[in-house]
Amino acid sequence: MQRKTGVSHTEILPLPELCGARNPTDGELVILKRGELGYFAAPEGFDIIKFNRNLKVTAPQIEAMLIGSMFGFDVPGANPAAHNGASAKDWV
């Protein structure tokens, strides 16, 4: 069964292939991959700001990637248009 997102495909903004974020549970630095549930632990010395800036990732995209990695990329929260970037502003 496919979930309904409540957002038309024309309103869905693109997500990056990868982004850096902080695990909301424990603050661990992680790497998120578009379309995949879960995360990858960031290597020691990982510079989250440099990583996201090099990839030109926005704060709303990071928030959407976090939601997608936890609940699936077919939920409304996995669309960057649903976010203002406030919780991820320090990561870009």
In tens, the pLDDT along 1-57 reads 444 444 444 455 799 999 999 999 999 999 999 999 999 999 999 999 999 999 999
Q: Which domain holds residue 84?
A: 15-91
Q: pLDDT tens across 49-78, in order?
A: 999 999 999 999 999 999 999 999 999 999
pTM above 0.75, yes or no: yes
Say which residue the tokens 């630095």 belong to.
Answer: 29
SS3 30: strand
Q: Which residues contact 20 (CB under 8 A, 6 or more apart)?
A: 29, 30, 31, 32, 42, 46, 48, 51, 52, 57, 62, 91
Residue 83 inside a domain? The answer is yes
Say which residue the tokens 């030109």 belong to.
Answer: 56
Number of domains in the chain: 1
Residue 10 inside a domain? The answer is no
Residue 10 has a pLDDT of 43
